[in-house]
Structure 1
């Protein structure tokens, strides 16, 4: 069995942490790598959009936003009634699982490109669109009211959200920049896999630490963090088929549905829902779901999409 070299660095990070290796990894570098990935994904999407824009993109975008609204509505009753969590924590965790993980998406496109599998150019736009709806739905579910969604919230958590600004802004720059964007390619495009490998190594170190917390949590939380990605991934597969996407596009839509946020949503929850147990949400999304998706979910959904497309 051959493991993708990029994914192997994630495994190396986990193993290093579990072995107790003292590896210094500056927080500033981690944040810089995260910003790099967001900008690179946006630019790649913008460059591709220069050559191809689907006239049905608006309809597809609305369907993706609806998808982002539905996912937390699926997660919430599982957390509330089967997991017996209170409204606050059920809403907070549901928001994580309705949103997306940029790193998980980056792993998926790295695998697709390594295997020369094409996918639709506009997917970075879908990543941006899926960041927003779940935050709103999660907060409404947690508070049981729309009053929390005010002008200040919209400005800070939706309009000025780092992930949204960097990815959408880079996508626009990539699209409008014309031939001038080519001079950025040696850094943002050609170095993408190497930077992603380094980022995943750090994520492996973090996930290794979270594994200790996983042991202390209930069987339900662990089960949910594995089951929900499968539900979201299969729902994403169905949406991809409904939209008539390519096999690569179906696989990516499934990955978006299966992923859980550990950057944008935690920041929003900390600001707007400080009473929620942030450790529980991060343990589920980063300690369980992210490793599950990188090692099992992403390869499975990409393979499954190729199987469906070949039928």
Structure 2
């Protein structure tokens, strides 16, 4: 285990992330232009999506049905577990919903780093795992926001109709069009799903055109992105600290809990060692792209320094340095 963690620590993607952290902590003038940062995000979303679509074209629906069900199960159950934990911690509802959406969704970059880890170790994994990334991005956001509506209305079975024509059931307000639109058609979901569908429809015909940019250069672009993420994570660390040690422990322990659940589910649906590891990484990661974008408009009362600070300042570096090799070893043990 120690050798694997050390091996992961000395990989270029982790070292460049640490370099970004150091730059932020010591207030270096190093920074990425907004346009470049946005461009790197778009690149990674397309690269992961199109590779997943191409690989998915090699499989029948029947062969991937089990992993798809497992991925959706994790995306739905993790927000409920998160809310239960935060209730014990006496966290207020709005911030609890923010963390439930964030930790129920996934980190694409953590997943990309896990792929690099497996490739470096020579561990094979199912190509359709890239497609599961798309499936796990959105459900937790929708579930968390619907839970918010439900919990807010639980003490009143009826609400006044906006047309003043009487009372209507509270559940009539559960489905907010803006929430659904943001969850399904936000930038990250749109690019992931769209790229995956394009790769799935074209299959191997797309490889000659996309390989030079989206496959051969993937690891190099990931290094640039993680350098930028290190800068952002370093800037967010003070925001997390001021909210107390309980939240810091939440950001460190829940990835282990959810990642272990992901490893168990991955094993139950018949994935390989690499696939089980990736399922654990997905379940144990936290979103700092799709979920915060939806929360910003849907739950403005939730404090971004809590859900974004924890996801980016605590959980992301923990998974990058320790979580990935731990889930790999756990997958080996359970397999």
Q: Displacement of 1:54 after TM fit? A: 5.6
Residue in 2 aligned with 1:33?
Answer: 40
| Alpha-carbon distance in 1 for matches of 2:185, 2:311 | 23
Kept in 2: contact 1:61–1:129 (CA 8 A)? yes
| Alpha-carbon distance in 1 for matches of 2:93, 2:228 | 33
Q: Larger Cα Rg: Structure 1 or Structure 2? A: 2
Backbone CA RMSD of aligned residues: 1.6
| Alpha-carbon distance in 2 for matches of 1:207, 1:186 | 30
Kept in 2: contact 1:89–1:142 (CA 8 A)? no
- Structure 2: stretches of 5+ with no match in the other structure: 1-5, 154-170
Correspondence for 1:63 among 56, 61, 70: 70
Residue in 2 aligned with 1:176?
Answer: 201
Residue in 2 aligned with 1:226?
Answer: 252
- In the alignment, is residue 166 of structure 1 matched against residue 191 of structure 2? yes
SS in 1 for 2:27: coil
Kept in 2: contact 1:248–1:306 (CA 8 A)? no
| Alpha-carbon distance in 2 for matches of 1:88, 1:126 | 28
Q: 43-52 vs 63-72, which deviates more?
A: 43-52
1:286-305 residue pairs with structure 2 within 5 A?
A: 286-305=312-331
- In the alignment, is residue 200 of structure 1 matched against residue 218 of structure 2? no
Structure 1-normalised TM-score? 0.94
Residue in 1 aligned with 2:111?
Answer: 105
Summarize deviations over 1:216-266 as a string: whole Å, max 9, x none: 121110011111101100000100110111000000000011000111001
Correspondence for 2:182 among 139, 151, 157: 157
| Alpha-carbon distance in 1 for matches of 2:128, 2:16 | 28
Q: What is the count of residue pairs matched by the alignment?
A: 307
Summarize deviations over 1:14-63 as a string: whole Å, max 9, x none: 11211221113111111110111111011111222233346232343123
Kept in 2: contact 1:87–1:141 (CA 8 A)? no
Q: 72-81 vs 236-245, which deviates more?
A: 72-81
Kept in 2: contact 1:13–1:203 (CA 8 A)? yes
Kept in 1: contact 2:66–2:269 (CA 8 A)? no
Q: 128-137 vs 263-272, which deviates more?
A: 128-137
- Structure 1: stretches of 5+ with no match in the other structure: none
Q: Displacement of 1:128 after TM fit? A: 1.0
Residue in 1 aligned with 2:49?
Answer: 42
| Alpha-carbon distance in 1 for matches of 2:91, 2:62 | 43
- In the alignment, is residue 190 of structure 1 matched against residue 229 of structure 2? no
Kept in 2: contact 1:90–1:142 (CA 8 A)? no
Q: Displacement of 1:66 after TM fit? A: 1.7
| Alpha-carbon distance in 1 for matches of 2:302, 2:328 | 34
Residue in 1 aligned with 2:148?
Answer: 142
